[in-house]
Amino acid sequence: MNTFAWVLLVATFLHSLMAGFLFAFAVVVMPGLRLLEDREFLRSFQVTDRVIQNNQPLFMAMWLGSTLSLIIAAVVAVVQLDGIDRALVVSAALASVLLVQVPTITINIPLNNTVQALDLDALDSAAAEKAREEFEPKWNRWNVIRTIVASAILAVLLVTLGRL
């Protein structure tokens, strides 16, 4: 196995973890939290997100590593590959940055930070309901988009690995 194949294998592995993480939030975590009352929902999200925001090392290695290793794979692909294989890896890296990481940084994380800043003990029921309404639909919509894109990227990476 050459260097490119190893880099692509690492990128595929880390990306599969990231896609699985997004998928789990889309089909298990958020649907489960949806069943909670507004204040409970917000508190549960705060607690869960705090683990991530405290830079949980395995999560950070997976999340950052998935994108960094894919960018490295794309650079190596530009140098070593041609045709469809180069196009697949470069497209996967671009999609990861533009359609997973950029929405995460510009949409999901700011929404998370808004929820983190809430003093839930000071909110009345109407304010908790409003905070949830301003957060949940948009966060879920973008998480589903990220999940679909990450899953498509994973499929591309698996196909590319199979072609090596």
pLDDT of residue 55: 86
Distance CA 51, CA 36 (A): 20
In contact, 77 and 70? CB cutoff 8 Å: no
How many domains does the chain divide into? 1
User: pLDDT digit string (tens) for 12-27?
Assistant: 999 999 999 999 999 9
pLDDT at 79: 94
Average pLDDT over residues 67-84: 95
How far is it, in rounded angstroms, from Cα 128 to Cα 123?
Answer: 6
Range of the domain at 23: 3-163
Q: State the average pLDDT over residues 97-110.
A: 97
pLDDT beyond 90 at 1: no
pLDDT, residue 123, reads: 95
CA atoms within 13 A on the CB side of 162: 6
Inter-residue contact 73 to 4 (CB < 8 Å): yes
Q: What distance in Å separates the CA atoms of residue 4 and residue 27, rounded to the nearest whole number?
A: 34
- pLDDT tens track for 116-144: 999 999 999 999 999 999 999 999 999 99
